[in-house]
């Protein structure tokens, strides 16, 4: 397809999605009634102690969609008290695992029955593609719930072969009350990534959704109660990080905190946990993931993977492939293809089934991304495409690709969390390994090649928690996920996630007639 045809196609798509004033068209047929706006504590929806509320804003049109209760320290205290009572005296930790699993499976069915409404809530809260949430993200969250429901009755310790005539074994017991602090970029995925394994383990919890995207978390709490999860097991406190989030991180009666978000905030969470009761911490933090494309890679497949790796969910993904290294033998052709595909990428209202990229989740994120784009221009990087807002209303940004950048450039060093790619050329395998590792992050990486020797060499040399070979964003509930370096520690998904919500207790007894008696 020639560049002229692509340009015409892009103009036609923009005209179809814009009004006479240049604003992108909005599709409001699926906008749901907002049913739950309060805090969810001990099985009931309640106002905050101080009666405060916060606004949620639709990033498509900047309209206020709801006012939800704003929780603070006093509300976190009430939620923790409910969770503590449910853990110390309630049935959930004491149920047979299969019974917890049956309730979790019913929870999954209820989510499926309400999937349209849940997907729409994430669209008007966070700008997520309605079709993607309905077809992919929420079904994946349901699959996570079912995965851990199936693991709930398979929590085993070990028999120990001990010396000195001792008999020993270990027990795995729920860790207690867990604080979950979840981000705004994947409300369904992140909620279930944390809640499902903690439920299976027998824990109780206080969940703080991001202040930008609380609506679906409240709906999930409603469905959990309807499924039979006992009161106090799941509590949801909407609020801001410095207040509600800080209260969870430093609470003396929370036994563990699981946080997903920026490295900067993760450090604050860890400090609060250390200076309170030394609670356990799991952190899934930022990323600046490299995708390495070698000379023998299929160009069409490689450009598709690289573009999807940075533009899926409008780049608001912790593992976004924001640094793309292409070997010099195919660099020029790769650049032409990926720029053409980026220009044809459809941006618009996320309720439109033909759109592939919706608005950024918030004004703050929108302005942050644009500031990084301007920084890239000032540093002398070459802008190949994009680099500007789209439309006159809503937080839309064009898919953006820079080249002629180095690892010293801010747009290459910092996590932008938006649709901005840095495209770079390399010569040798040794060079690309060194450059890919030249980052404070270590969450994920992609390797695109047909050479198994390269795959083995590079995958063992990159310091990152997940390596994708000839694929990208290939998550699975059975595959542990977590980072190296300043991308955090602790694993989500897989049995590793279940085990982090369990204490290991050792029990030792002497054998009869042994010297210990």
Q: State how far the Cα of 306 lies from the Cα of 217, in Å rounded to an integer.
A: 31
Q: Count CB atoms within 10 A of the CB of residue 34.
A: 17
* Neighbour-count burial for 171-210, b at 16+ CB within 10 Å, e otherwise: ebebbbbbbbbbbbbbbbbbbbbbbbbbbbbbbbbbbbbb
3-state helix/strand/coil string of 98-118: HHHHHHHHHHHHHHHHCHHHH
Q: CA torsion 426→432→434→439, rounded to 10°? A: 90
CA 300 to chain centre: 28
Q: What is the DSSP string of 201-222?
A: HT-EEEEE--TTS-HHHHHHHH
- Residue 232's region, left for phi above 0, alpha for psi from -120 to 50, else beta, is left
In this structure, what token pair is assigned to residue 279?
A: 């609670």
CB 116 within 8 A of CB 82: no
Strand intervals (E) in 457-501: 466-469, 488-489
In this structure, what token pair is assigned to residue 403?
A: 């080249």
User: Which residues, including other chains, have CB under 8 Å from residue 364's CB and lie 6 or more apart?
Assistant: none
Active-site pick, 284, 316, 335, 415 = 284
Q: What are phi and psi of 485, to 5 degrees?
A: 50, -130
Decide: helix, strand or coil at residue 181: strand
Helix 138-151 and helix 187-201: axis angle, to 10°? Answer: 10
For this structure, is 318 an active site residue? yes
Active-site pick, 137, 203, 318, 335 = 318
Closest C-alpha to 123, from 61, 78, 196, 191 = 61
CB 346 within 8 A of CB 355: yes
Q: Which residues are identified as catalytic?
A: 284, 318
């Amino acid at each position: 397809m020639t560049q002229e045809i692509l340009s015409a196609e892009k103009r036609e798509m923009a005209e179809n999605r814009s009004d006479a004033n240049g604003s992108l068209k909005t599709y409001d047929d699926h906008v749901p009634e907002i049913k739950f706006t309060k805090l969810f504590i001990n099985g009931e929806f309640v106002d905050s102690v101080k009666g405060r509320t916060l606004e949620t804003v639709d990033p498509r049109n900047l309209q206020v969609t709801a006012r939800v209760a704003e929780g603070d320290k006093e509300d976190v205290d009430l939620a923790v008290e409910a969770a503590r009572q449910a853990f110390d005296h309630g049935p959930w930790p004491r149920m047979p695992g299969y019974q917890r699993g049956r309730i979790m499976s019913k929870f999954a069915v209820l989510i499926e029955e309400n999937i349209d409404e849940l997907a729409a809530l994430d669209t008007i809260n966070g700008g997520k593609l309605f079709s993607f949430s309905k077809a992919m993200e929420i079904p994946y969250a349901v699959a996570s719930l079912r995965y851990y429901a199936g693991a709930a009755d398979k929590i085993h310790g070990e028999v120990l072969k001990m010396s000195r005539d001792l008999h020993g074994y270990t027990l795995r017991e729920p860790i207690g009350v867990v604080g979950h602090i979840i981000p705004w970029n994947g409300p369904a995925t992140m909620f279930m990534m944390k809640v499902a394994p903690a439920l299976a383990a027998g824990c109780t919890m206080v969940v703080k959704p991001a202040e930008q995207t609380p609506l679906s978390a409240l709906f999930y709490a409603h469905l959990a109660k309807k499924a039979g999860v006992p009161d106090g097991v799941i509590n949801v406190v909407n609020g801001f990080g410095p207040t509600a989030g800080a209260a969870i991180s430093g609470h003396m009666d929370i036994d563990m905190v699981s946080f997903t978000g920026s490295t900067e905030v993760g450090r604050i969470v860890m400090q609060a946990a250390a200076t309170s009761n030394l609670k356990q911490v799991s952190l899934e933090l930022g990323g600046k993931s490299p995708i390495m494309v070698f000379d023998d890679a299929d160009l069409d497949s490689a450009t598709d993977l690289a573009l999807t790796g940075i533009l899926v969910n409008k780049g608001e993904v912790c593992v976004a492939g924001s640094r793309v290294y292409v070997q010099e033998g195919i660099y020029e052709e790769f650049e032409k293809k990926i720029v053409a595909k980026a220009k044809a990428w459809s941006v618009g209202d996320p309720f439109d089934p033909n759109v592939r990229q919706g608005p950024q989740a918030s004004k703050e994120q929108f302005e942050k991304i644009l500031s990084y784009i301007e920084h890239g221009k000032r540093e002398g990087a070459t802008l190949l495409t994009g680099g500007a807002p789209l439309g006159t209303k809503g937080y839309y940004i064009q898919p953006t690709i820079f080249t002629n950048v180095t690892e010293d450039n801010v747009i290459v060093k910092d996590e932008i969390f938006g649709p901005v790619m840095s495209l770079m050329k390399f010569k040798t395998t040794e060079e690309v390994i060194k450059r890919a590792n030249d980052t404070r992050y270590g969450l994920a990486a992609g390797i695109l090649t047909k050479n198994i020797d390269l795959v083995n060499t590079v995958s063992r040399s990159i310091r990152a928690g997940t390596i994708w070979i000839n694929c990208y964003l290939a998550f699975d509930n059975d595959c542990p996920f977590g980072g190296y370096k300043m991308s955090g520690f602790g694993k989500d998904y897989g049995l590793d996630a279940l085990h982090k919500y369990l204490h290991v207790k050792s029990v030792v007894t002497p054998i009869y007639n042994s010297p210990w008696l």
